Homo-oligomer: A and B are copies of this chain.
C-alpha cells in the first residue's frame, strides 16, 4: 500500500480545500460525476467488503497492482481514512454508491449510512484521472475528454492473478495517440505507479482479446485515426468487474465516474 498522508485539509476556516468542498457537496447530496472536480487532487475507486473477504481482496490487489493500486484503506468497521482526508467519512463522501448483492447491483444510493456495518473494510484504489491530468499538463490530447464522453474500456484476455473468490480478466481503458505522443504517454504515466502506471499494451487490440475497438465493454467508443495507436492502461473497473463475477453476497463500490475525492495531490503520486 502506498503510504501517503494528505496535507492539512483546511487552508483556513473560510477557505476549505477544493477536495473537501467536493466531499461536503457529496454529503449535501451532489450525485454527479467527479470528472473535472477539484483539479489537482487524487480521486479514487472504492471497494467495500466484509472483513472475512477483505484479506483475500487485499491480496488480490497486492497481486494485481496495475489494475488495483491501493492508495488508502480503512480499519475494520471504521468509516474514516485519515490518510486520504482527516474529516473523510467513506459512508457519505462519494457522490453515488453501488450496493452489490450476489453479483448484482441492488441499490445505487447517495450515501451508505443504512448499509454500513462494523465488519466492513473500505479500499480506495488509484484512478486514471490522476495520470490524465499529468498527460494534459504535457499537452497530450485525450480523445474522450475532448469529446466529453467516458473513456472506452474493454475486458481483455489478460487474466488477473486470482485470490480466493476474486478472479477474472483485467479491464483496460484506451486512449488513442499519435506514435510520438504514445511514447511520451508511456514516460509520463510510468511516473505514477499508484494510479495504474505505464500502459499494459499498445497497438494490436486482438492480442489482448479485444475483438472490436469500436465496441467497448464499458464507457463510450472514440475513434482511433489511421495514424494513431490505441494505448491501453489497466483500469480501476477491474476490481468492480471481479467483485461482480465473484457473486459475493454483499459488497459496495462507487458508481462508475463518481469517485471519492481525496486530499492527496496528484503531484504527490509521482515517483520521479
The 9 closest A-B pairs by CB, nearest first: A186-B186, A179-B201, A203-B229, A179-B202, A207-B227, A203-B203, A187-B190, A183-B199, A183-B186
Cβ of A140 within 8 Å of any chain B Cβ, yes or no, is no
Q: What DSSP secondary structure best describes chain A's contact surface?
A: mixed
Name A182's closest neighbour in chain B (CB-CB).
Answer: B202
* Residues of chain A from 188 to 233 with CB closer than 8 A to chain B in the complex: 190, 198-204, 207, 227, 229
Cβ of A180 within 8 Å of any chain B Cβ, yes or no, is yes
Complex A-B: 9 CB contacts under 8 Å: A178-B207, A179-B201, A179-B202, A179-B204, A183-B202, A186-B187, A187-B190, A202-B202, A203-B229
Partner of A204, one of B187, B190, B229: B229
User: In the complex, which residues of chain B have a beta carbon less than 8 angstroms from the beta carbon of A207?
Assistant: 178-179, 227
Cβ of A3 within 8 Å of any chain B Cβ, yes or no, is no
User: In the complex, which residues of chain B have a beta carbon less than 8 angstroms from the beta carbon of A272?
Assistant: 272
Q: Nearest chain B CB to A32's CB is how many angstroms away?
A: 34
Evaluate contact between B229 and A202: CB separation under 8 angstroms: yes
Q: A179-B207, A182-B203, A272-B272 are in contact. List 17 more A-B contacts (CB 8 A).
A: A178-B207, A179-B201, A179-B203, A179-B204, A180-B201, A183-B198, A183-B199, A183-B202, A186-B186, A187-B187, A187-B190, A187-B198, A190-B190, A202-B202, A203-B203, A204-B227, A207-B227
User: In the complex, which residues of chain B have a beta carbon less than 8 angstroms from the beta carbon of A183?
Assistant: 186, 198-202
Q: Nearest chain B CB to A154's CB is how many angstroms away?
A: 14
Q: How long is the Cα–Cα vector from A190 to B187 in the complex, in angstroms? A: 8
A233-254 vs B, Cβ < 8 Å mask (1 yes, 0 no): 0000000000000000000000
Name A205's closest neighbour in chain B (CB-CB).
Answer: B179
User: In the complex, which residues of chain B have a beta carbon less than 8 angstroms from the beta carbon of A190?
Assistant: 187, 190
Q: How long is the Cα–Cα vector from A198 to B188 in the complex, in angstroms? A: 12
Q: Nearest chain B CB to A224's CB is how many angstroms away?
A: 11
Q: How long is the Cα–Cα vector from A101 to B186 in the complex, in angstroms? A: 43
Name A206's closest neighbour in chain B (CB-CB).
Answer: B227
User: In the complex, which residues of chain B have a beta carbon less than 8 angstroms from the beta carbon of A199?
Assistant: 183
Most B CB contacts (10 A, CB to CB) among A179, A202, A227 go to A179
Name A207's closest neighbour in chain B (CB-CB).
Answer: B227
Name A198's closest neighbour in chain B (CB-CB).
Answer: B183
Name A208's closest neighbour in chain B (CB-CB).
Answer: B179
Name A158's closest neighbour in chain B (CB-CB).
Answer: B180
Name A201's closest neighbour in chain B (CB-CB).
Answer: B179
Q: How long is the Cα–Cα vector from A199 to B229 in the complex, in angstroms? A: 15
Q: Nearest chain B CB to A15's CB is how many angstroms away?
A: 38
* Residues of chain A from 32 to 78 with CB closer than 8 A to chain B in the complex: none
